[in-house]
Amino acid sequence: MKKQLLKLPLLFFLIVSVIFFYLLIIERNPSKIPSALLDKNVPEFEAESLLTNYQFTSSKEFGNEIVLVNFFATWCKPCRDEHSYIKRFSDEKKIKIVGINYKDNPEKAIQWLKELGNPYSVIAKDKKGKIAIDWGVYGIPETFVVNSKGVIKYRHVGPVSQKEYKKINLIIKKINNDK
């Protein structure tokens, strides 16, 4: 009995090793953090809008249809990289996209959108980065999927790539089916 008890640490070590090895080989990025806002209502905020003289109010923008929320800035290189995919969401999939222009120069942002095209139905200015903090954003670009009830269903940190574009489309499909 006692001898068997002494084998326990070895057994335990093996189990821990298997768990570690498993976590090592599965595809996962440990620096990515799950959002604390998943399945919660979108934070309420008001802001100036970038292109028009319109007061952005979150309660008006969310809760009617599926909305993508995209945090971007002209000084952020990956934002430029993902822009074609963000455009595809609005051009091909006809999804409403709310842009949040994070700590940016408004003139540069307007110029940037003229150059690359504007997929956003409305853009809120986040001059001091306070909106981003309310959304738990820590590295732009970030993209959120909000369902038609104004609940956050998905969050992606980093640029949207081909793979992520497909994934978000699947999520939107699933939200539509669940209705």
Partner 1 sequence: MISKKYKIIITLILVNFIFNSCFAVEPSEILKDHKQEKRARNISKNIRCMICQNQNIDDSSALLAKDLRIIIRDKIKDGKKDKEIYKFLTDRYGDFILLKPAFKLNTLALWIFPSIFFIFGIYIIFNHNKKSKKI
Residues in contact with partner 1 by the rule CB under 8 A: 2, 6, 8-9, 31, 33-37, 103, 128-130, 133-136, 138-139
- Smallest distance, Å, CB 128 to partner 1? 7
- Smallest distance, Å, CB 95 to partner 1? 25
- The span from the CA of 43 to the CA of 131, in Å, is 8
- Smallest distance, Å, CB 169 to partner 1? 26
**Closer CB to partner 1, 54 or 138, in the complex:** 138
**Closer CB to partner 1, 35 or 147, in the complex:** 35
- The span from the CA of 145 to the CA of 135, in Å, is 12
Sheet holding 152-157, edge to edge: 122-126, 96-102, 67-72, 142-146, 152-157
- Smallest distance, Å, CB 164 to partner 1? 20
- The span from the CA of 172 to the CA of 179, in Å, is 11
**Closer CB to partner 1, 38 or 170, in the complex:** 38
Q: Which amino acid is at 63?
A: G
**Closer CB to partner 1, 120 or 144, in the complex:** 144
- Smallest distance, Å, CB 118 to partner 1? 26
Q: Tokens 């110029």 belong to which residue? A: 111
- The span from the CA of 105 to the CA of 134, in Å, is 21
**Closer CB to partner 1, 31 or 53, in the complex:** 31
Report whether the peptide linkage leading into residue 141 is cis, meaning its omega lies within 30 degrees of zero: yes
